[in-house]
Amino acid sequence: MPGPHLRSPIGLSRAAVALLGLVIAVDLFAVYADLVLYDVSGDLMDGASGSAVARRLDDANSLNTVAGGIQSGSLVMSVIVYLCWFVRVRANAGVFAPDTQSMRPGWAIAGWFVPIVSLWYPRRITRDIWDASSPLGARRSYLLVNAWWTLWLLSIVGDRVSSAQSGDADTADGIHAGAYALMISDALDIAAAALAIALVLRLTRMQHEKALAGPGAPVGV
C-alpha cells in the first residue's frame, strides 16, 4: 500500500549550502560597507568637515543601502530552499522513527513563523530529526544543533538591535555606534550561516548513510 517513503535530501542540501554560502559572501560585503561607514563617522567625531567628508558619508550610506538590499534578497532565497530541505529531512525522520517525532510535520514550516514558539520549536524538531537519523545505538550529541540555534537567535537579536540603533542615528556618535552594531550583527549572521551549512551537511549525510544501511542496521554498518 502507498505510504510514507524516503526521499533523498542530497539535491536540496546542495542548493541550501550554495545559498547559505551566498549569504556569507554577501554578509562579508556588508561588513566591508559597515567598516566604511564606521571609518567616515569616526572622522566626523574627530571634527572633520567639508564637502569631501560629506561626500564620503553619502557614499558610505549608499554602499550600506546596496548591501542591505542584497542581504535581504539572498536571505529570502536561502530561507525558501532551507525550509524545503528541512521539510524533506523531517519527512524522512518520520519514516525512520515516526514514534520519536514530537511535533506534527506541519510545524517544520509553521514553527519558524509562529510568534513565541518560533524561539524553540525549530530546535526541538531538529533534535527529533537528529535522533531519528542517527545510527541505531549511536551516542548522540546535540552540540552542533545547540551551537547553531544559539547563534541563530543571537543573529536575530543583533539584527533588531542594529536596525534600531542605525535607523535612529542622526549624529556622528549615533552613526558611529550604529555602524559598529551593524558589524556585530553581520558577523553573527556569518557565524550562524556557517553552522547552518555544517548542520545541513551533517544531517544529510546521516540520513543518506542510514538509508543505505537499511532498517535496524547497527552502528558501523
The string of DSSP codes covering 85-110 is HHHHHHHHHHHH-GGG--S-TTHHHH
Give the per-residue pLDDT at 215.
Answer: 56
**pLDDT averaged over every residue in the chain:** 90
Q: How confident is the model at residue 20 (pLDDT cuts 50, 70, 90)?
A: very high
pLDDT in tens, 85-141: 999 999 999 999 998 899 999 999 999 999 999 999 999 999 999 999 998 777 778
pLDDT in tens, 139-185: 778 999 999 999 999 999 999 998 888 776 678 888 888 899 999 99
Q: Distance of CA 107 to CAs 9, 120, 188, Å?
A: 19, 11, 26
How many whole angstroms separate alpha carbon 151 and alpha carbon 144? 11
Predicted confidence (pLDDT) at residue 2 exceeds the cutoff of 60: no
Q: Distance of CA 114 to CAs 78, 107, 121, 128, Å?
A: 19, 9, 9, 19
Predicted confidence (pLDDT) at residue 24 exceeds the cutoff of 90: yes
* 63, burial (CB in 10 Å: exposed 0-12, middle 13-18, buried 19+): middle
Give the per-residue pLDDT at 137.
Answer: 72
Cell of 134: 542517527
